[in-house]
A and B are shown apart, each in its own frame.
Chain A
Amino acid sequence: MKELVRFLQRDVPVVRRPLQDIALRLGVSEDDVLSTIRHWLEEGKIRRFGAILAHKRVGKKVNVMAVWKCHPEKLEEAGRIMAGFSEVSHCYERETFEGWEYNLFTMIHADDMERCEESVRKMSAATGLEEYKLLFTEKEFKKTSWEID
């Protein structure tokens, strides 16, 4: 199973029958590979299957992590509202620590910084959350796709 996960996390070859080589290497049939993919999609083990595009190449050039202070009672609603913004790719409630009270995290993508900031203002207005911080990326040290051991 881990072996198949590893193959599918990498790059499926762009050939007429992309699963043929994987099946051959694993010593199973192509149909087995295909039905396992389908099964894992149904189970939610695979979030999606297809092309992963480089988002910098399809228009969204900048991103910012916006963090918000939200009262626990308002979290469910605020989280749902923020998740509804198409420019938001990730939205989580996270643990806090002493000296860090921002508990709602959003990742925002846009063509430029002004648009990111505009989205943040809209999100603030829509949720009523006024205490927030924008954490702009200074330097990207590492960005890789996660791979199973």
Chain B
Amino acid sequence: MDNAHERELLLILQNDFPLVLEPFAKVAERLSVEEGDVLKRVQELKAKRVIRRIGAVFDQAALGYKSVLATMCVAPERLEEVASYVSSFKEVTHNYSRKSRYNLWFTITASSQERIQEIVRAIEEFAGCSLHLLRAKRTFKVRTVFDI
């Protein structure tokens, strides 16, 4: 399989994954190659971390989960410490420091508003400063695929 094939393979796997019992055979058929070649190449692409995983991307809200962006203004000397406390919650999926007065930004995804409030209180107590929740009011775009 050459590079052009590889790009085609990634496009199919990302945008048009066959929903059948033997998906890689279907992909092989579309690329006019052997199923074994596809399996081998996909395994390589995973080993190289080009493909992070193969599976489903769920809509958290449709599963009944609440997700919210949070930000805090943390004293620079305590940033690392507060950030690692924030990261210790499994409900925190993303956590970054950013160049702004509000220097810590993270997302909390939990099964209830109560759980989110619990986490908020714990973080505020640990950090000794207030946390601001920036709930989404309108979603204009959520994209999970990339141009290759």
* Chain A interface residues toward B at CB < 8 A: 5, 8-12, 14-19, 30-31, 34, 37-38, 40-41, 43-55, 57-60, 65, 75-76, 79-80, 82-83, 86, 88-97, 100, 105, 109, 133, 135-146, 148-149
Contacts and interface: CB of A to CB of B under 8 A. Distances in A.
Contacts of B78: none
Contact of A90 (B17, B56, B141): B141
Interface band, chain B: 35 or more
B86 A10 contact: no
B52 A54 contact: yes
Interface of B: 10, 13-17, 19-25, 35, 39, 42-43, 46, 48-60, 62-63, 65, 67, 69, 71, 83-84, 86-87, 92-100, 102-103, 105-106, 109, 111, 132-148
A138 B99 contact: yes
A29 to B, nearest CB: 10
30 contacts: A8-B56, A14-B43, A18-B54, A37-B56, A45-B59, A48-B145, A49-B17, A50-B15, A51-B17, A52-B57, A53-B14, A53-B146, A59-B148, A90-B141, A92-B136, A93-B140, A94-B134, A94-B136, A94-B137, A100-B71, A105-B134, A135-B98, A135-B99, A135-B100, A137-B98, A138-B103, A139-B83, A141-B83, A143-B93, A145-B53
